[in-house]
């Protein structure tokens, strides 16, 4: 601006500043959009992994665990709950061949493991009084 009047150079300079500001805003918007897309994909993957947890609830029936035979998939996390009908030593759940042992104090508690080999495994209470079979396919 010279003597209160806009010169051609001032208009060009202002136009370049406005163009730069617009370009920066566009780059920020695109970058934020990419961040949101990546973040939503990552959240989706964790949800898929959570779906792969195989949940099993055992009860007490006829003096033993029920069901007697539990089928699960190899290389997928297994989560075993014991409902409120199970008491005493039956609450300490073991699968010796898989090195699984846990005292499951309440129905909300669980034992979690991931079988890595197919096979048939015996599960039992800590004293071996209650038993069952876990089949990993």
pLDDT score, position 93: 97
Report the run of H or E that residue 89 belongs to, with start and end.
Answer: none
Query: Which pTM value belongs to this model?
Result: 0.62
Task: Please state the length of the chain.
Answer: 137
Give the residue among 120, 125, 114, 66 at the shortest CA–CA distance from 90.
125
Quickly list H helices, 62-131. none
3-state secondary structure of 13: helix
Q: What is the pLDDT along the chain (137 residues), one digit of tens a residue?
A: 556 665 666 656 666 677 778 867 676 677 665 655 554 444 444 334 445 899 999 999 999 999 999 999 999 999 999 999 999 999 999 999 999 999 999 999 999 999 999 999 999 999 999 999 999 99
Tokens representing 22 are: 């617009």
């Amino acid at each position: 601006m010279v003597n209160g009047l806009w010169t051609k150079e001032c208009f060009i300079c202002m136009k370049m500043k406005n163009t730069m500001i617009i370009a920066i805003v566009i780059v920020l918007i695109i970058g934020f959009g990419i961040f949101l897309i990546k973040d939503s994909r990552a959240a989706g993957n964790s949800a898929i992994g959570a779906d792969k947890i195989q949940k099993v609830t055992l009860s007490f029936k006829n003096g033993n665990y029920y069901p007697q035979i539990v089928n699960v998939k190899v290389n997928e996390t297994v989560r075993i709950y014991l409902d409120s009908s199970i008491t005493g030593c039956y609450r300490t759940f073991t699968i010796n061949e898989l090195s699984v042992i846990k005292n499951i104090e309440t129905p909300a508690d669980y034992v979690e493991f991931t079988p890595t080999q197919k096979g048939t495994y015996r599960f039992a209470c800590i004293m071996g009084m209650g038993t069952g079979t876990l089949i990993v396919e």
